[in-house]
């Protein structure tokens, strides 16, 4: 169950269109390290999580990622509204425009469509939390790369905010991993899958 709030997590108010930049930033909508993959990853990993506090964290971070998905879409939308045909042709936006006009569609900067293979649900809490931490770092690197391409302060502000959230989420997933490892039974020294293999090694009993 979710409810919607009619506001962004961080304000986006871009005055100057820039179709070239929009084509780079759309990667954080539907690219390999984008917010769609992030939210789907965490929200899908929740169900078989053996520890309630970790499933709760995945829910809360997955929910925040949906707010980030909306922020990225807003940035792309505001960078592409009021474009002239001349700007569309000159900026290299014509390839996107021909299929989607100025609608928002999940793809990577290079045009590759979003695909569930961009994230994993392994059903093993250690494996999944390691992936989650790596995913936050990859998204942070992508925002770093985007920031090197941006000089409009209206775009920099929200991108910097999104970058900062990747760092906080990385920290929280690291803490979740520590909590899980503390709970593992001493017999499960090599941390094999407490979601499946060995109920007693989950530390629950």
Decide: is 168 part of the binding site for other proteins (CB under 8 A). Answer: yes
Is 138 buried (19+), middle (13-18) or exposed (0-12) by CB count in 10 A? middle
Decide: is 9 part of the binding site for other proteins (CB under 8 A). Answer: yes
Decide: is 2 part of the binding site for other proteins (CB under 8 A). Answer: no
Q: Compute how many residues bind other proteins; rule: CB under 8 A.
A: 29
Task: Please name which of 60, 73, 82 lies closest in space to residue 25, comparing C-alpha atoms.
Answer: 73
Decide: is 40 part of the binding site for other proteins (CB under 8 A). Answer: no
Task: Please name which of 35, 29, 18, 41 lies closest in space to residue 105, comparing C-alpha atoms.
Answer: 29
Helix (H, G, I), strand (E, B), or coil: what is residue 150? coil
Helix (H, G, I), strand (E, B), or coil: what is residue 28? helix
- Nearer to other proteins among residue 6 and residue 148 (C-beta): 6
Sign of the four-CA dihedral 119, 40, 29, 65: negative
Cα–Cα distance between 165 and 157 in angstroms, integer? 13
Decide: is 176 part of the binding site for other proteins (CB under 8 A). Answer: yes
- Nearer to other proteins among residue 175 and residue 200 (C-beta): 175
Quickly count: other Cβ atoms within 10 Å of residue 91's Cβ.
19
Decide: is 23 part of the binding site for other proteins (CB under 8 A). Answer: no
Which residue is it, tokens 């997590």?
Answer: 9
Decide: is 14 part of the binding site for other proteins (CB under 8 A). Answer: yes
In the complex, the smallest distance separating the C-beta of residue 109 from other proteins, rounded to whole angstroms, is: 20
- Nearer to other proteins among residue 70 and residue 152 (C-beta): 70
Which residue is it, tokens 């569309």?
Answer: 88
Q: Is 103 left (phi over 0), alpha (psi -120 to 50) or beta?
A: beta
- Nearer to other proteins among residue 9 and residue 87 (C-beta): 9
In the complex, the smallest distance separating the C-beta of residue 199 from other proteins, rounded to whole angstroms, is: 24
Decide: is 6 part of the binding site for other proteins (CB under 8 A). Answer: yes
Footprint of other proteins (CB under 8 A): 3-14, 53, 56-57, 60-61, 64, 70, 73-74, 77-78, 168-169, 172, 175-176, 179
């Amino acid at each position: 169950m979710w409810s919607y709030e009619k506001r962004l997590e961080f304000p986006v108010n871009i005055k100057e269109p820039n179709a070239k930049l929009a084509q780079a930033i759309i990667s954080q909508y539907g690219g390999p390290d984008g917010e769609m993959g992030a939210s789907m990853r965490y929200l899908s990993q929740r169900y078989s999580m053996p520890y309630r506090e970790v499933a709760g964290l995945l829910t809360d971070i997955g929910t925040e990622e949906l707010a980030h998905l909306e922020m990225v879409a807003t940035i792309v939308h505001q960078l592409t509204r009021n474009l002239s045909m001349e700007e569309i042709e000159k900026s290299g936006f014509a390839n996107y425009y021909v299929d989607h006009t100025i609608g928002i569609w999940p793809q990577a900067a290079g045009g590759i469509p979003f695909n569930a293979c961009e994230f994993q649900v392994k059903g093993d809490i250690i494996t999944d939390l390691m992936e989650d931490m790596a995913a936050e770092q990859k998204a942070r690197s992508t925002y770093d790369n985007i920031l090197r391409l941006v000089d409009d302060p209206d775009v920099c502000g929200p991108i910097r905010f999104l970058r900062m959230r990747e760092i906080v989420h990385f920290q929280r997933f690291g803490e979740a991993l520590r909590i899980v490892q503390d709970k593992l039974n001493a017999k499960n020294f090599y941390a094999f899958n407490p979601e499946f293999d060995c109920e007693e090694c989950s530390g629950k009993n």
